[in-house]
Structure 1
């Protein structure tokens, strides 16, 4: 059986270096990693992750809880899962997906939780392993999220700069921090420019925003821009305006929020506030692994700057 020493001899490095490459690759140069990985492939050496976990009294498993319905058409969670898995893979951790309809069975070393609502924190408080929340929260938990306020600030500033006279915000009807932040970016920007906010809230579904536009069509004058809290909702706005033969983007502009797939398939293509979802997932995984290594020490919050993507639904 190939041993760690065999790999070290093949790569012409010390056993300590091989161990560091396997267990702490971020502490080793790319050149050394390449030497060791090449030797491992040549010798068909595979680290015994199970033995390592047993020795460290760990499971090498991280559980990812999704506490909201997953829209199978929108690959937001596929991008997020890929990012989390990439972050965990660096430390040979396995990812276990747990949806809100399943029980928490089996052991793990920690949890990443997304879609948490106010009523969920009662049971989250009882979890004994380290937790990182994916998404803004005001319950004192470590979290990773987009800078939601900055995102809608960028969108609203752009709409004002392009001389849309009326700027309307369509928000998600949830009392959650990410939505408050998105609304705050919009409100603060309008107030800075001495304009009055117009906010409407509804479910995060395209059919609801489409029906909203149909029902309220006459109250929106030409030269209106809609700042929308999700791309899914923005898709409904496009459909509703097109049903009225509205001229997009000359008379009506739309900016969504997410930038994951849906913005690419609308016609015209949707302007949006893009979240770097894969990068955020990887950061959430890295934050949790640091927390585990530091025996649950607080990690704080990480807000990632979004990017405004201007396409066919806004004047350029």
Structure 2
């Protein structure tokens, strides 16, 4: 079996440098890390994770805590989890999925928390490990999120380019920063174009969006665009518009948000604002490990732009 000394010789560095690359990668240059990792790969050298943990007084475990109900979040968190797990694996870290009830069973080096709501922060403040949140917040926690405001602004701009006369925002009925930011993006863009603002807030389930269309069908004029705060809401809008005989996208347009899976099972496929969940998972893992290595000191938040993914629920921009 190859040894630490073998790796050092192959990389033409000292054993101490190899040890630092493995145990304290933040203390060495990227060039040295590349050299050592290349030697490790060539020799098929696997660091002793338990020895590394003992040497650093670490558990080599990060806990992922999902506070949102898991019965209707689709594969949203699965894509995020894959990104987190793959990145942690590169640093010889394991990922443990926990619930609020069993958060403190077993030790860990830090937490990544998803699906939190305002009522959760009093409890989150009791956790004494480095923590990163998936989702913007106003409590000073480091976080990873999409640029929610700019995302919806982009949707409004696209709707204006497509000459929709009426643009309605279908938001989520939750008093959370991401929801407020998406609504703010709509309002700012509509004000910039001098357009009348129409906002409705619903529980994030497709059936409530469908009921909204059904109960207000006679109020919707052709050439209306619905910009939705989630693909789930957009699905309900699309389904009921078709039920009522509305022509999509000729008379009515729909833009969703997330682009995880639901946009692909809708017919026609949804135009949506796709989040980079894999990359966001990687960023969350990197951020929490940076905090662990920095003894919990604050890090820079990671904010990602969404991609406007065109489907069949908006007009062809080239026609």
- Give the equivalent residue in structure 2 for 1:37: 41
Which SS does the other structure have where 1:250 is aligned? coil
How much does 1:307 deviate? 1.1
Gaps of 5+ in 1: none
Q: 3-state SS of the aligned residue for 1:112?
A: strand
Residue 149 of structure 2: SS of its match in structure 1?
Answer: helix
1 CA distance for matches of 2:300 and 2:138?
12
Could you tell me which residue of structure 2 aligns to residue 305 of structure 1? 305
Partner of 1:226: 226
From the superposition, tell whether residues 4 and 29 of structure 1 become closer, same or farther in structure 2 (CA, over 3 Å).
closer
Aligned residues: 312
Do the aligned residues in 2 keep the contact of 1:18 with 1:36 (CA within 8 Å)? no
Indicate how the Cα distance of structure 1 residues 26 and 124 shifts in structure 2: closer, same or farther if over 3 A, else same: farther
Per-residue deviation, 1:21: 4.8
Q: Distance in 2 between matches of 1:166 and 1:107?
A: 54
Native 8 Å contact 2:40 2:46 kept in 1: no
User: Residue 111 of structure 1 aligns to a residue in which SS?
Assistant: strand
**8 Å contact kept, 1:223–1:252:** yes
Name the SS for the 1:159 alignment partner.
helix
Equivalence for 1:267: 267
Structure 2 segments unaligned to the other structure (5+ residues): none
1:272 aligns to what SS in structure 2? strand
- CA distance in structure 1 between the aligned counterparts of 2:194 and 2:2, rounded to whole angstroms: 72
Aligned residue for 2:197? Answer: 197
Name the residue aligned to 2:293. 293
Cα deviation for residue 302 of structure 1 reads: 2.2
d(CA) in 1 for partners of 2:63, 2:240: 40
RMSD across aligned positions (CA): 1.9
Deviations 1:13-41 (A, max 9, x none): 543454355343973364652332121x2
| 2:137 is the alignment partner of 1:137 | yes
